[in-house]
Amino acid sequence: MNDKKKKSDTNSSAENVEQHLQELEKADYERLYYSQEQTFSADELARSINEQRLTELMAKSDEFLKSLNSELEDFDD
């Protein structure tokens, strides 16, 4: 117990913060790495997708692309 107390006394606050940040970074990396390996079933994906919102976004993107295309055609003239 005294050895632990002595060791923690010799570490500065900055060293303790640095060590803690490194541990958090490692945990974040591991969480990201393992989350990429997860597979989702079609049912899980269907539950997580808001189909109405997706349809609205696709319609907006179509409108944007059409307007962009017309602007580009006008630019050539």
Tell me the per-residue pLDDT of 31-66, one tens digit each, with 9 for 90 and over: 777 766 667 788 888 888 888 999 999 999 999 999
Shared domain for 56 and 30, answered yes or no, is no
Shared domain for 55 and 34, answered yes or no, is no
Shared domain for 34 and 1, answered yes or no, is yes
CB neighbours of 18 closer than 8 A, spacing ≥ 6?
none
Task: Identify whether 45 is part of a domain.
Answer: no
Could you give the number of structural domains in the chain?
2
Note the helical H segments in 1-77: 2-10, 13-36, 42-48, 51-76
**What is the chain's length?**
77
Task: Identify whether 43 is part of a domain.
Answer: no
Shared domain for 33 and 12, answered yes or no, is yes
pLDDT at 15 over 60: yes
> How confident is the model at residue 42, as a pLDDT?
83
> How confident is the model at residue 76, as a pLDDT?
65
Q: Which pTM does this prediction carry?
A: 0.36
Distance CA(52)–CA(54), nearest Å, equals: 5
CB neighbours of 16 closer than 8 A, spacing ≥ 6?
8
Q: Which domain holds residue 73?
A: 50-77
Task: Identify whether 2 is part of a domain.
Answer: yes
Task: Identify whether 74 is part of a domain.
Answer: yes
End-to-end CA distance of the chain: 82
**Of 5-9, 43-47, 70-74, the least confident:** 5-9
